[in-house]
Each structure stands twice: as structure tokens, then as C-alpha cells.
Structure 1
Amino acid sequence: RWTHGCTGKGNDQVRFEAGIVALAPDLKCIAPVRDYAMTRDKAIAFCEAKQLPIATTKKSPYSIDQNVFGRAVETGFLEDIWNAPIEDIYEYTSNPATPREADEVVISFKQGIPVAIDGRPVTVLQAIQQLNERAGGQGIGRIDMVEDRLVGIKSREVYEAPGAIALITAHQELENVTVERELARYKRQVEQRWGELVYDGQWFSPLKRALDGFINEANQQVNGDIRMTLHGGRAVVTGRRSESSLYDFNLATYDTGDSFDQAAAKGFIDIYSLSSKIAAKRDLA
């Protein structure tokens, strides 16, 4: 047997139970808060009566989930979606409006995985930890959103994910440099579905495993460095370099030395737009 303290309204109960079932289908789940329909107030009172340590109290009525990759805050006054978040709810990020010097960082990737920061080797965990501190110190990674829970309820969540946002921003820009156009377009569809599966608790599902294989293959050439300026709540890319780059200066330049055959563009456009041209002649007749 195993147990969790989730309510019947949230996504975590689904993630826990769907994951456990996929790994150990014979285990039985015990979920007292959900199964006894305990409200937040009742759950707090029960824990206080039993002297159980809890993060959510009457003075701090937030529900907080956190790990190294991010932090999520909900309930309390945030349940009124007109109320703006206050600085007190944040822990991973500083106020982005506070004047401070900008921070420049270079993140290096190998096959899509961060392997160095400012030239110093790091593990993935170290990359997230270091960028949590540096990007978080610049107020990067705050997300305030209303989302659709798996159980059908719309919910307001305030997230902090400074390291994740910095890494995702850098990774996406390096993909722009190194991933072929059609693969990049299709990968965006896969990313959307992958995210939905993870959000919906299908981490160990056959489809998630299959998409992992596609994503690993798509990242084979995502090698290189991205330079970013971290400041004022934003991670802004200012430089890119890669031995796997598909960017050809001689094709891209508008100056002398241009190797792109501009005369070929006319014929391409004629063929590309032919079906629309034929349809327009019919429709305007």
C-alpha cells in the first residue's frame, strides 16, 4: 500500500496514482484527504490537532509544491483571479523591478543537454541550480496563469522556474540554429503533446516513451553555445555559435559575396503559388 495527501480537485493525485499504477499495478492507494472530502480548513485543523508539521497554515494558507526545477503556489487570496500576486509568495525569484546590474551568461549544450556554464562543466542538476540563482536573482521565471486541470476545473497558479526558463530560452534558440526546418516544425507539435502527457500524469505511458525517442533524435545536432543577458525579468539571447550550425553567412548576407541564386526565387514562387493562382482565376471568374 501507499498513500498521498492530495485533494480530489488537483492534478497531483492523478500523477501519483497513474505513475504508481504504471510501475506497480497491484499496489493499493490510500488518500485520506480526498476520500474523506476534507476541506483545506479541516485538513489544517486535523494536522494542528495531531501536531503534524505542515507548510499550509491559517496564517499562510497557500498550497505550495516545489522542487529544484520549479515552484508552484496556489489557494489563499490567489483564488480570486483579480488579485495580483504579492512579493511574499515568491522564494526562487527576486523582484524584477528592482534596479540591478545585468548578468551575462553563456550556456553550452551537447545533444540538447546543458554541459557547461560560462565554460565551466556542469551536470544538468548543477546547471539548473546555478541558473536558479542567477536568473532568479534577476526576477526571471515568474508565471501567473489560469490553467485547465485534468479534472475539468480551471485553476489559478503562480509559478517560479528561473533556471528552467533560462535553459528553455537558450535551448530553443540553439535549435533555431541547428535543427532543419521541417524537423523543427514537427518537433513543436511533439513538444505540445509531450507537455500535455506530462501534465496529465502519463510520464510512464507508451506514447510518452515513444515521444522521448523522437525528442532524443531531434536533439542529436543541438550542440553549441548561447549567450544571454539576464536582466529585468527577461532572459535575452545575444549570441549563438555551433559546430552543427545550419546558418550559412554567405547565403544569408545581403552584402557582396552573397552566394544565394536570387534568380531561382522567381521560378520557385511561380510553382509554389500556382495552385492558389488557379483557384483565384476560377473564383474571380
Structure 2
Amino acid sequence: MKEKVILAYSGGLDTTAIIPWLKENFDYDVVCCCIDCGQGEELDGLEERAISCGAAKLYIEDVIDEFCDEYVVPCVQANAIYENKYLLGTSMARPVIAKRLVEIARKEGATAICHGATGKGNDQIRFELGIKALAPDLKIIAAWRNDAWTMNSREEEIEYCKAHGIDLPFSADTSYSRDRNLWHISHEGLELEDPACEPDFDHLLVLGTTPEKAPEEGEYVTMTFEAGVPKSVNGKEMKVSDIIRTLNELGGKHGIGIVDIVENRVVGMKSRGVYETPGGTILMEAHQQLEELILDRDTYTMKKVMGNKLADIVYEGKWFTPLREATQAFIESTQKYVTGEVKFKLYKGNIIKAGETSPYTLYNESIASFTTGDLYDHHDAEGFINLFGLSSKVRAMKMQEVEKKQK
């Protein structure tokens, strides 16, 4: 009886070529697993393609709600953004995919898991760290790093597939390298490989439009949160995944969340990509807008540090670690009172604040007003400034003393 290998299958060029390659070089029964994090129409015809390429079976696993509730929400609560721009769309999905691959491997009695991530990218790290943390006994086959893998380009992969009687719905010169889920879609390749080139947005965008082509009229949106979790959009309460779907439509319509970035990959190289995250950009901004009212200064300051740390942890594939658990625990402790409503206007790529309320707001008009209120006496500031600036004054006095001695 042949051993089984679980293949993380997207239906794209790499994983399509890997099916016959695994059978030829390892004599495995190949069980394909497509983990659905919200890829949409990309899943159409996937089973027929996998079986026709030689797979013994295909699992299509819907993890959309798990992805949104257990991976996206903690990152939103942390305002976790890698290098101030990237909202971690691909990074957040990899641990839930690795987790489900391991679960299916156990169910099938497989001895190995294979992925099609390249040896230059981040995903090889994310997949493999996840698998090692959850199933250290399973063998990992990284096709692009295996000596038996002789294909070094998309053109060679296409020729390999043709030689094995596999018809492909894409070509090497017209396809970006993309990753899509409910949170975002990323684009790499073609003209984006040259940082000097402007993106061909007419050819590239999938989830929305450019700000120039967005409606001339802005659109107001209201959202509510309870304990840091999004609960409703425009008065309609819904689960997190549906909130993201709704915000994707609104954000895409108004040209929100298009980011062109040259980022630093974990492996050390720089990489250029364009990310579309319309709903995620709105959700992050709305949550942060509410936190401004509620968190005290010291907590807010430390939370920014921890949010940046969580972004690095997620980007580097370290989800299943004590450090992620501890960092997330801190973030969750700050969310107890992040409850309220935010209002904003979407207009040509911009999210414009239009008001926010919370039963736990720390904003006190009596204190903040320019007029003298009951809780604040302007004269109190004098003593505070004397103490707050004492170290600066002492140092300045010492420097004056030193200068006099040197003359």
C-alpha cells in the first residue's frame, strides 16, 4: 500500500505541476487539500482539475469563519500592520491552513505534507513552522527546494504540465502571482518586479477600483464594536466574516486599501507587491478610531509596541508559539472596554472620521474644553511643568557650570 502525502493545493500553476511530480519522484498517493479562507471563484472547477492531474482525492475545507474569528480579529485588535503598510492578509491565513493540513494528514494516515511555496518566499517558513509546531513527526516536502525539482520558471512548469497532458487555464506572461482570501488579495510579478514601474491598475485590481475612478459622492458608514470585536455595519448586526464581506464591497467601491510596498521578507531580500485590502483597511481604522477614546495613554503607548510585535510574529510564521499567545493575551486584556460606535465617510481612497461614541470614553469635555472646568485648574500646570522638566533644567544648569569652568 502506497504512503500518502497531503498536498496544500490551490489549483494554481505550482501545485498543479506538483501532483504528477510527487507521483513520479516519490510514488505517493497524493491527497490534495484546498483550505478555503475566502478565495471565492478561484475554487471553481478545482476538484476536476486535481483529479485529472492525478490526485487520489481532494478536500475543500471551509475555514472562513475560523480564519476571521480566531486569526483576523486578534490582529485587528492589535492593529498589527507589518512595516506600517501590510495588513498581513497572506500571513494571517497560513497558520489556519497549516493547522487544517495537519488535521487531514492525521485523518488520512499520511506520512508527509507537501507545499508549493518557493525557496525565496515567506510562505515556506510560515507553513513549515506551523506544521513542525503541530506535528513534528510528519515529513515536509518543499517541492521548490527538493533536488528532484528541476523546473526553475513558470514557463518550465507549463511545459512540464503539457508533457503530462494537463491543460492550464493561464499562461506565464499574462498572470500575476496572486494570493487571495476574504481579507485581501496580493499581486506580485510582471511589471511589479521592477520598483521603477508604476502598477498597471487597470489590469491588476480585483477587489476594487482606483480612487480616481471611485464615485464623486462620499458614503457614510457606521460600525459598532463590543469588547474589541466588530458587531454591526450600518445598523445591521452580523458575524465577522459577513462584516468583512460588506466592508470589502464598500471599500472596493470607493478605492480604499490599495497599497504598493517594497517589504523586507523574512529570508532577507526585498520584495515588491501590491495589496488590496478594502474591508480590512476600514475595519482596522474603525477599531483604532474607537480605541482613541477609550484607552489611557500608557496602555495605548504599550499596545502600539505589542501590536508591532504581533505583526512581526505573524509575518514570520510564529503563530503557534508561547510568544504569540502571551502577546495576544496582553492585547485581549486591553479590549475589555473597547465598545461603542464609530462613523466615517468613504471618499476616493480616504476614510474620513465623522464621529465616535462609547459608554467607556475617557474624553471629558469639562477637562478638555478651553474654558475652565471643575476638574482642571490652569494653575495646576505650573507645578507639573516644574517637576516634569526638572531633569532638563538640572542638566542645563550643570552644562552652564561646565562651560564657565572651561572659559
Asked whether the two chains share a fold, i.e. TM above 0.5, the reply is yes
Q: Does structure 2 conserve the Cα–Cα contact (< 8 Å) formed by 1:56 and 1:62? A: no
Mapped to 2, the partners of 1:93 and 1:258 lie a distance apart of: 50
Mapped to 2, the partners of 1:27 and 1:172 lie a distance apart of: 41
Map 1:104-183 to 2 at 5 A. 104-183=220-299
Q: What's the TM-score once normalised by structure 2's chain length?
A: 0.67
Structure 1 unaligned segments of length 5 or more: list them.
none
Aligned to 1:8: 119
* Residue 261 to residue 143, structure 1, CA distance change in 2 (3 Å): same
Deviation at 1:54, TM superposition (A): 6.0
Q: Partner of 1:104: helix, strand, or coil?
A: strand
Map 1:23-62 to 2 at 5 A. 23-35=134-146, 36=149, 38-40=151-153, 41-52=155-166, 57-62=171-176
1:72 counterpart = 2:186: yes
Quick check: 267-276 or 234-243, which moved more?
A: 234-243
Q: Which amino acid aligns with 1:116?
A: S
Aligned to 1:19: 130
Mapped to 2, the partners of 1:49 and 1:138 lie a distance apart of: 45
Show CA shifts across 1:134-166 (max 9, x none). Answer: 011101000100011111111001100011100
Greater radius of gyration (CA): 2
Aligned to 1:199: 315
Quick check: 2-11 or 33-42, which moved more?
A: 33-42
Deviation at 1:102, TM superposition (A): 1.1
Q: Partner of 2:395: helix, strand, or coil?
A: helix
* Residue 258 to residue 38, structure 1, CA distance change in 2 (3 Å): farther
**For this pair of structures, how many residues does the alignment match?**
285
Q: Does structure 1 conserve the Cα–Cα contact (< 8 Å) formed by 2:342 and 2:357? A: yes
Map 1:217-256 to 2 at 5 A. 217-255=333-371
Q: Does structure 2 conserve the Cα–Cα contact (< 8 Å) formed by 1:6 and 1:34? A: no
Q: Does structure 1 conserve the Cα–Cα contact (< 8 Å) formed by 2:214 and 2:253? A: no
Mapped to 1, the partners of 2:258 and 2:212 lie a distance apart of: 12
Q: Partner of 2:255: helix, strand, or coil?
A: coil
Deviation at 1:57, TM superposition (A): 2.5
Deviation at 1:55, TM superposition (A): 7.0
Quick check: 46-55 or 267-276, which moved more?
A: 46-55
Q: Partner of 1:38: helix, strand, or coil?
A: coil
Deviation at 1:234, TM superposition (A): 1.2
* Residue 12 to residue 55, structure 1, CA distance change in 2 (3 Å): farther
Q: Which amino acid aligns with 2:129?
A: A
Show CA shifts across 1:107-144 (max 9, x none). Answer: 10011110011111011111111000001110100010
Q: Does structure 2 conserve the Cα–Cα contact (< 8 Å) formed by 1:252 and 1:258? A: no
CA RMSD of aligned residues (A): 1.6
More helix by share: 2
Q: Does structure 1 conserve the Cα–Cα contact (< 8 Å) formed by 2:173 and 2:190? A: no
Q: Partner of 1:201: helix, strand, or coil?
A: coil
Runs of 4+ in 1 over 6 A off after TM superposition: none
Mapped to 2, the partners of 1:167 and 1:56 lie a distance apart of: 33
Deviation at 1:255, TM superposition (A): 3.2
* Residue 130 to residue 276, structure 1, CA distance change in 2 (3 Å): same
Q: What's the TM-score once normalised by structure 1's chain length?
A: 0.95
